Structure 1
Amino acid sequence: MSTATVPHPLDAAGLSARFAESFGATPDGVWQAPGRVNLIGEHTDYNDGFVLPFAIDKTARVAVRVRSDSTVRLLSTFGDQGITTTDLTTLKPGTAKGWTKYPLGVLWSLQQRGIKVPGIDLILDSSVPLGAGLSSSHAIECAVVSALNELTGAGMSDEDMVLATQKAENDFVGAPTGIMDQSASLRGAKGHAVFLDCRDQHVELVPFEAEPAGLVMLVIDTKVSHSHADGGYAARRESCELGAQVMGVPALRDVSVSDLTEASGLLDELTFRRVRHVVTENDRVLATVELLSTAGPAAIGPLLDASHVSMRDDFEISCPELDLAVDTARSAGAIGARMTGGGFGGAAIALTPVEKERQVRDAVLKAFARAGLTTPDIFTVTPAQGALRLL
């Protein structure tokens, strides 16, 4: 996907008008779903572990109209591809390209669940930076599944929609992701992070508001595009599965920090480091939840820092640009910083005192310029409401 962003997203009325202009009829409705920032808990989700993401105030919006035939017509406000036409009866994995694989993947996944899916006309608009590790693809999928759940009368719960979009991502798009991103997008709430147990989908909303604590959450989009559907992500997942198998447990969720000494004697050095990241990251998620519930956001900085070190050294999913963003932000006054998302590019987050925000922004921009790197996008995010119907 392109790293271009939509700087001024359309509101619901504007998107409805664009739909009418493009398709010659008004849509049945407009739905939106947010991107997400993962506060902490990286690559723990597919290990049945714990994660702590939050929905952000940047969203994907879709205007949708049900058709009377099996034709699917898709259009986006970014790029110049024009309308893409597909027939539902020929929908199968590997046939879609670009952004269209996300809505088509949802349609296919719902078909696999036995839901009678109609043809649709759909237009997409998004303010979630693409390729930045903020889950722009899942925002699209969650907006689409929310729309189709309502338009088909399927009656799926949030948990059902999470699994439907995971199947779309895994089996149609070809990315072996867990359930964190969809859960944050569908189940997020304003002013809260989503504490998710990936084994049973149990969710607790944990208060997380930076501003009352005199802090802002900065996102530093390095502009290094990443893709989950590549070998790096899959290789990490395979290492985790091997580690669990050797340790004789269903998933790395069942390995504790105290088990790591035994693990070091059973696993090869590379697999052990992969396992150590997941086990200690689960521990950091639980510690972060506890601190947010007691001491507040200002106390979690060291856990964010430790998470980045673990991802950089043990899981090896960082990159020079992410490390530069994190190290520079910390040196310039952030109380904690880490890469966020699947890795190999994307964005870092920096929890920063309000009075240091300009200092951190300037320092990161100068560091990237000195290194001859693409200028990063730096912006703030706040925990926002999950998927909903707008119109």
Structure 2
Amino acid sequence: MRVVEAFRAAFGAEPATVWRAPGRVNLIGEHTDYNDGFVLPFAVPWGVTAAVSPRDDQTIRLLSLQAPSPEPLVLAARDDARGWTRYVVGVLAMLGDRVRGADIAVDGDVPQGAGLSSSAALEVSVASALNELHGLGMTPMEVALLGQRAENDFVGMPCGIMDQAASALCREGHALFLDCRTLGSRNVPLDLAAHGLRILIIDTRVHHEHAGGEYAKRRAECESAARTLGVDALRDVTDLGAALARLRGEERKRVEHVVTESHRVEAVVGLLRAGRPAEIGALLNASHLSLRDKYEVSSPELDVAVEAAVRGGARGARMTGGGFGGSAIALVAEDRLDTVRQAVSSAYEERSWQPPRFLPATPAPGAHPLT
């Protein structure tokens, strides 16, 4: 295993444990998580593997096989964290005096910038390893919550719980139906192959970075709208027409998206549980239009990918992730995969855009030990 070999070369010993945590793609339920709504992600085959050993001092030595330097970074204080190291050091910071230092080597294969949540995979893999090594007894959901706090409080990204929960809790062959208020969840069968279907991820190759920017602005708009409506979160809006009548401008549009998107999640779950996955395409299309027009987080590249995929024969498609770039997903019959790929590639070529990357995804397992 590459990460074990790198750990051994950098630190002169075997790692005490090795954990793997996946990235995620969200089937439906976008920007609902921080509004206490519903989401339906599944884990992807790509993720982060962390080889970890505890230390008796406060030193943190970090090595990434994706970093430009083959030498480990040595952090004498947690305030020294920069770049990717913030996600790891944030996990240690949230654990406080329950842990001291650590030697950590990580190896990731989540496509960067594609909106597949490599940061959550990094947090959950490291947190899971430390949970084992220190006998902390955290459940998978508690590991996810720790990762979320690291990203919120240490990195400064106001994300919801969805990404970390998917990385920690997902099961192979299933999507995770998660109630982001109660944190109740259940795995819903997502056996697309049995129905001759695939989820095709379309990576636009447009870098997706929204920490502290437009993502935070959308969250603030939702919180402001909730205060105006006198509810704890937009999850509590039961009469959408009456709510919209009390709002104006951007907040009105944001509320319309969030409320209808949570309903779409429940509808997709119902179809999957009924063994009718081929019928979810229209809900994927509706989700994209809402994200484009009401939440305003799409991009020209995402819109073209979705439109071309549907024209090419996809049963439905939408942007996935926070938006402003990243990836779209398309629900495609097996015998239409090549046609859909060609349709999207041609649409990009016509606009002289860099070619998109196509990643057929099957639902993978959540975080698990490799040793």
Superposition TM-score tier, normalisation by shorter sequence: over 0.9
The gaps in structure 1 that reach 5 residues or longer are 1-12
1:68 corresponds to which of 49, 56, 78:
56
Q: Which residue of 1 aligns with 2:78?
A: 91
Shift of the alpha carbon at 1:79? Answer: 3.1
Distance 1:289 1:340 in 2: 17
In the alignment, structure 1 residue 167 sits paired with structure 2 residue 152: no
- Name the SS for the 2:208 alignment partner: coil
1:263 corresponds to which of 243, 249, 259:
243
Q: Which residue of 1 aligns with 2:41?
A: 53
In the alignment, structure 1 residue 210 sits paired with structure 2 residue 174: no
Q: Which residue of 2 aligns with 1:177?
A: 159
Alignment of 1:367-386 (within 5 A): 367-386=347-366
Shift of the alpha carbon at 1:281? Answer: 0.2
Distance 1:369 1:109 in 2: 46
Q: Which residue of 1 aligns with 2:183?
A: 201
Shift of the alpha carbon at 1:331? Answer: 0.5
In the alignment, structure 1 residue 35 sits paired with structure 2 residue 23: yes
AA aligned opposite 2:88: P
- In the superposition, the TM-score normalised over structure 2's length comes to 0.97
Distance 1:377 1:24 in 2: 38
Q: Which residue of 1 aligns with 2:87?
A: 102
1:147 corresponds to which of 116, 129, 151:
129
Shift of the alpha carbon at 1:220? Answer: 0.7
- Name the SS for the 2:329 alignment partner: strand
Moved more, 219-228 or 200-209: 219-228
Please tell me whether the aligned partners of residues 3 and 65 of structure 2 are also in contact (alpha carbons under 8 angstroms). no
Q: Which residue of 1 aligns with 2:314?
A: 334
Shift of the alpha carbon at 1:150? Answer: 0.6
1:41-93 per-position Cα deviation (integer Å, ceiling 9, x unaligned): 00000011000001111111011122222111111111313321112xx324x
Q: Which residue of 2 aligns with 1:220?
A: 202
The gaps in structure 2 that reach 5 residues or longer are none
Please tell me whether the aligned partners of residues 218 and 351 of structure 1 are also in contact (alpha carbons under 8 angstroms). yes
In the alignment, structure 1 residue 157 sits paired with structure 2 residue 139: yes
Please tell me whether the aligned partners of residues 114 and 326 of structure 2 are also in contact (alpha carbons under 8 angstroms). yes
Distance 1:248 1:119 in 2: 45
Distance 1:20 1:270 in 2: 53
Q: Which residue of 2 aligns with 1:241?
A: 223
Please tell me whether the aligned partners of residues 145 and 165 of structure 2 are also in contact (alpha carbons under 8 angstroms). no
1:81-110 per-position Cα deviation (integer Å, ceiling 9, x unaligned): 3321112xx324xx4222111111111111
Following superposition, which runs of at least 4 residues in structure 1 exceed 6 angstroms of deviation?
Answer: none
Q: Which residue of 1 aligns with 2:295?
A: 315
Q: Which residue of 1 aligns with 2:329?
A: 349
Please tell me whether the aligned partners of residues 244 and 255 of structure 2 are also in contact (alpha carbons under 8 angstroms). no
- Name the SS for the 2:355 alignment partner: coil
- Name the SS for the 1:164 alignment partner: helix
Q: Which residue of 2 aligns with 1:26?
A: 14
Distance 2:85 2:15 in 1: 19
Distance 2:104 2:357 in 1: 29
1:6-26 per-position Cα deviation (integer Å, ceiling 9, x unaligned): xxxxxxx33212211122111
In angstroms, what is the RMSD of aligned CA positions? 1.1
Please tell me whether the aligned partners of residues 177 and 228 of structure 1 are also in contact (alpha carbons under 8 angstroms). no
Shift of the alpha carbon at 1:280? Answer: 0.2
Please tell me whether the aligned partners of residues 306 and 319 of structure 2 are also in contact (alpha carbons under 8 angstroms). yes
Distance 2:86 2:268 in 1: 35
Please tell me whether the aligned partners of residues 166 and 179 of structure 1 are also in contact (alpha carbons under 8 angstroms). yes
AA aligned opposite 1:297: P
Please tell me whether the aligned partners of residues 176 and 228 of structure 1 are also in contact (alpha carbons under 8 angstroms). no
Shift of the alpha carbon at 1:121? Answer: 1.1
1:309-361 per-position Cα deviation (integer Å, ceiling 9, x unaligned): 00000000000000011111110011010000011111000110000001111
Distance 2:14 2:210 in 1: 35
Distance 2:210 2:125 in 1: 20
Shift of the alpha carbon at 1:168? Answer: 0.3
Moved more, 278-287 or 119-128: 119-128
Moved more, 379-388 or 226-235: 226-235
